[in-house]
Amino acid sequence: MPRTEAECVGALDCTHVKIQSPGGIDAESYRNRKGFFSYNVQAICSSDLKFQDIVCRWPGSAHVSNIFRNSRVRNDFENGVYGDNLLVADSCYAIKPYVITPLLNPHTRAEHLFNEAQIRTRNPIERSFGVLKRQQILSLGIRLKQEKVEAVVMSTVVLHNIALSMGDVEPPEINEEIAAAIELTNNVNNDMVGHVQRGINNSVRYTLINTYFQNLL
C-alpha cells in the first residue's frame, strides 16, 4: 500500500577523516579549511545512529553540497526511487523537495518550532559521527596509502553498525545549546549559500510549517 505522507528516511552530513599528506601535485586539495589533510566523508544515518549510506572518495577541500550533488543517492532521489520521502540536512546544503534544511532567519513562532524540530531530527548524524570516531584509527588519523583509506573507512562503518546492533551504548543527546551554537556557526560560515537558497524550493519548508507547526500554536 503506497504511503500517503512523506517520511524522513535519514539525516545527511559530512565529516572529515584525517589522513597523512598523500603527496604529489594534488596533495593540497586534501587540506581542509581547518588546515589538516583529510577525506570529506558523506554519510546518511537513521534515527538509531546506524549508517545507511557512505561516500568516501572526496578530498578534504570538497564542499559538502558538491559531494551530495554528485552522489548516487541524490540521483536516486531525483529519479523518484525514494518516492516523496526526504532527508534532513544543515544549512550547508541547498533546500530541495527531498532535502529539508533549517530556515536561516526564522521570525514566527511556527518557524522557530520548525527549526527546533529540524535540528532534533538531524541530531543523530552528529551523534553517529561521535560514536564512529571512538575507533582510534579515525580519531587519530589514517596513516596508510591513499588507496586504502576508503576500505578502512567502510570497514569501521560496518563495525559501527554491528556494534550498535549488539547493544553498544549510544552517546547522550547533543545539548540543545551546543546544537544551536553549531547551527549559528553553520549559518555564518555558509552565508553565501543561504543567500542562494532564499526563494528556491521554500514551498517545501513552508508547507510543513503551515500544515503542521502552525497548528501546534
Confidence class for position 215, pLDDT limits 50, 70, 90: confident
Q: What is the pLDDT of residues 79-136, one digit of tens each?
A: 999 998 999 999 999 999 999 999 888 889 999 999 999 999 999 999 999 999 988 8
Distance CA 5, CA 195 (A): 30
DSSP-derived letter for residue 45 is: E
Q: What is the pLDDT of residues 163-184, one digit of tens each?
A: 999 887 655 555 544 454 444 4
Q: What is the CB neighbour count within 10 angstroms for residue 139?
A: 12
* Residue 8, beta-bridge partner list: 86
